[in-house]
Amino acid sequence: MASADANTSFHGIAARLDRIPISGFHKKVMWLLAGLTFCDSVDMGVGGPIGMVLQDQGFMTLEQFAFFNSITMVGYLIGGLLAGAISDGIGRRKAVLVCGSLFTVFCFVAAASPDANFLTGCRFFMGVGLGAAFPAGYSALTEFTPPQKRGKYQSYVGLIANCGTLFASVMNLIILPIAGWREVFVFCGVLGAVVMVLCFFYLIESPRWLALMGRNEEAGKIVSNLENKIASKGVALPPVPAEEIERREHAENVTQLPWKFLFTKKMITRTLTAMFLCFVMNVLVYTVISWTPTILKANGFDTGLSTLMTVVMQLGIPVGVGLLTFYVEKVNRKTILIVTFVLIAILGPIWSMLPTDQPALVMFFGFLVCVCTFTNSVTTSAIYLSEPFPTACRIRGAGVANAFGRLGGIFSPMWIAFFVASPMGTLGAYVINSALAIFMAIWLAIFGVETRGRTLEDITKGLLDK
């Protein structure tokens, strides 16, 4: 049996957390962090249809809409770069509260925008808030859940989060035409405020982070409280053997890590893999979410039908992510990602070439594209992205990757707008997407690290050795 000091060391805390079975505590943390990522998906989902309405009203031109989308991604990029520094500096809980509150405040400010330029500025700050909160939320959950259930519960967060996209589509179908775009932003602000209040009262700090920062007594109290709650339900938790803690200590040397560690020889392929995954994911996701209504309208469908068809196609999001929860711990992460990349590369161009007199066929193939795109997106952002990084730089690594990924959201609107207005049409945009998906599948097959069923410390074994 390990000593009291060993049990409150970083590796002792990690070992104790990893042996705690899934309980109401894990589910509470999951729902709180899922609420944050739900807001992110809602925000992404309202941007495209609002932009289309603003163009119809003469409030914004197509070129301004492209900049409106791009500046949001710039905010996400800056937020992603700040995410690691904020989360590592003040903690996972405070980072979620500060960044989520920034988004919430500017939702209300955006609702009062007098012109397109002011609204675009508000979208920038909303992007900064969510850009920092997004990796903090997803990555924080990995530090609570046991390795055998980590992927499943991360996928639950992804499922709840991506229901936000469908929820946004329903908002766009009902609230947007009836009340107006300003009311949509107010609704997003209210949603964000509710999530922040719940997180303030019920979200606790990550014991792994506390132990990493030398606050071992606080971490020990949190874990002991969890253990006591499990014991009170008649579940006996065996003590962590001293040998297990020693094994973890030999596997990973806990230390504060500089930014440059992400680009050292041992880490560079993991960091680049995460960065490329986020870039491709953002291009694929934002093509589907932000541009589908505009693409359908450019192909000849009116605004109302475009919005309705988008809602039907996006039913594929909860279907794809819901199915993922059943097999995520049975199929390797790399296999899921590679297969979905290949399917996206095939289905996207087919969807873009379908005749406009076959709306049912357009919606069916669009549904399949959404299934594959968001199965891939959740596996990337909610499950796989942060797992290969050591605890000392986990959110920093995920933040850098997310920041780089936002470049895809910044630049893709420009080439999508170019192709939509060109003789090649939407096919050109989807050919680019297919090339990116095939590249990513090949890169991942060569350089990707498999993480399914492994402890976070085992995944990073040897990375900190000198």
pLDDT in tens, 395-449: 788 888 888 887 887 788 778 778 777 777 777 788 889 999 999 999 999 999 8
Residues 6+ away with beta carbon under 8 Å from 204: 29, 93, 222
pTM of the model: 0.76
3-state class percentages of the chain: helix first, strand second, coil last, to nearest 5: 80, 0, 20
Largest Cα–Cα distance of the chain, in whole Å?
A: 72
Are 350 and 367 spatial neighbours (Cβ–Cβ below 8 Å)? no
pLDDT score of 270: 93
| Lowest-confidence region among 82-96, 328-342, 368-382 | 82-96
Q: Residue 349 burial (CB < 10 Å; 0-12/13-18/19+)? A: middle
Three-state DSSP class for 24? Answer: helix
Report, as an integer, the average pLDDT of 15-22: 87
Three-state DSSP class for 344? Answer: helix
Report, as an integer, the average pLDDT of 18-34: 89
Other CB atoms within 10 Å distance of the CB of residue 144: 21
pLDDT in tens, 193-213: 999 999 999 999 989 889 888
pLDDT band at 464 (very low <50, low <70, confident <90, very high): low
pLDDT score of 375: 93
pLDDT in tens, 131-149: 888 777 777 788 888 888 8
pLDDT in tens, 211-224: 888 898 999 999 99
Q: Is the alpha carbon torsion for 375, 69, 169, 186 positive or negative?
A: positive
Are 286 and 413 spatial neighbours (Cβ–Cβ below 8 Å)? yes
Alpha-carbon span 165 to 169, nearest angstrom: 6
Does residue 121 or residue 68 have the better pLDDT?
A: 121
Q: Is the pLDDT of residue 266 over 80?
A: yes
Architecture of the domain whose range is 4-219+255-459: Up-down Bundle (1.20)
pLDDT band at 256 (very low <50, low <70, confident <90, very high): low
pLDDT score of 315: 85
Are 85 and 99 spatial neighbours (Cβ–Cβ below 8 Å)? no
Q: Is the pLDDT of residue 280 over 70?
A: yes
Report, as an integer, the average pLDDT of 310-321: 84
pLDDT band at 125 (very low <50, low <70, confident <90, very high): very high
Are 362 and 454 spatial neighbours (Cβ–Cβ below 8 Å)? no
% the chain with pLDDT above 90: 26
